[in-house]
Structure 1
Amino acid sequence: MLPPASGRRALLIGAARGLGLALAQEWLRSGWHVVATVRSPGRTRLHDLADAHRENVEIETVDVTVPTQIAALRQRLASRTFDLLFVNAGVTSRPEGTVAETSTEEFVRVMVTNALGPLRVIEALQDLVTPTGTIGVMSSGQGSVANNERGGHEVYRGSKAALNTFMRSYAARHSSDHRTLVLMAPGWVRTELGGSDARLSIEESIPNVVRTLESVQGSPGLHYVDYLGRTVAW
């Protein structure tokens, strides 16, 4: 049985806006204490949330593409423990096109932010998560190789497929670990990243994301699931 939400602690990487901010709000409503990060020190809606809930929301700064910043965050949090580490930071590819049409600079930007950065964060912060806690990453249904029957969004798809593969390697290296590992596909959500044509509102996705994370907590190993708890094909 899960402990009561009150008093549980989440470390959320990437929460300045969109899905990350909504996750912070949802965990806060459930009685969690949330340490959430932004990429730069400028004011965001997360700061408004923290101002309204000073006892339960803390803000840290980290750019997941900068290893020294990840290391500095690890040092600042060295004395802390968390029931959940969730990496939400990510970008989309603009302008859209085939992978061959994408500049090297843009390809590197998307791959480093969406695939390399999250694994660096997890490797650096994993020991802050309790032995029976959860380590999660915001993936995407577009990261599924098996379900890619329409193409499009090639660099973004590739970055999420790479993220999934790297997490499988991480899980294989930690096969004796009792923590729960999650790759979360939140659905196509109307945010700045998802665009205005997306099928789901934040309110339709994020509460279900949180419920799904709760439902798999305590089940060791890697789970690739969507916001409704359905297993996503690799």
Structure 2
Amino acid sequence: MLEAERLTGGWGPTIVVENVDLNVGDAECLAIVGRNGVGKTTLLELVAGRTSAKSGRLRLDGQDLVPLSIYQRARAGLGYVPQNREVFPTLTVREHLSIASRPGRWTREKVLELLPRLGQRLDNLGSQLSGGEQQMLAIARALLGNPRLILMDEPSEGLAPVVVEHLISVLREIISDGSLSMILVEQRIDLALELSDRFIIMDRGQITYQANSADFDLEAGRLPELMGLTH
């Protein structure tokens, strides 16, 4: 459904992601893990169009994404939940949901059923929400665009453990719904493997390892070496 071939790009003249080959199938969750600064977020932003590819190919359902702007990629079926949430501080929850909504399976009613806390905060401004509520709002906003593929960058970062547990249940339900695919960047390896069908490890802007999540044994102790944390 998503295909990247030798995708290369970064910021200005700096190449961060180099020659990445990537594919995501229908209703599949792909996790991306790796140390800080290895290019995981930049890869998501190359897909989303927030930074430009220098070379390579990128297709969604066969459509070439490289020449498309961010809003055109959203219309083509991409949703994005950024690492720092990026909610509008002066808009209410209700307004966030209204401006994000496009026709499709994910309606406001369905999203609020999944995230009932937002239903209690409809008239609150983005700046009045807790970190966990802002994360849920960012997820709701992306879902209401009814994407074919949702990009999710570090959803558990900075959240209290009880909020993370709720987040995990929300992500499980989104994935099990089967209406979209997901690329999940997540520092918590156990969470990444639990939620995903496959995972890849990035190092220095390239994919260095990939496997089926269910087949990988975290207890075997191979992960530090695969992530470049040993010499």
Q: Per the shorter chain, which TM-score range?
A: 0.3 to 0.5
In proportion to residue count, which structure has more strand? 2
TM-score (norm 2): 0.35
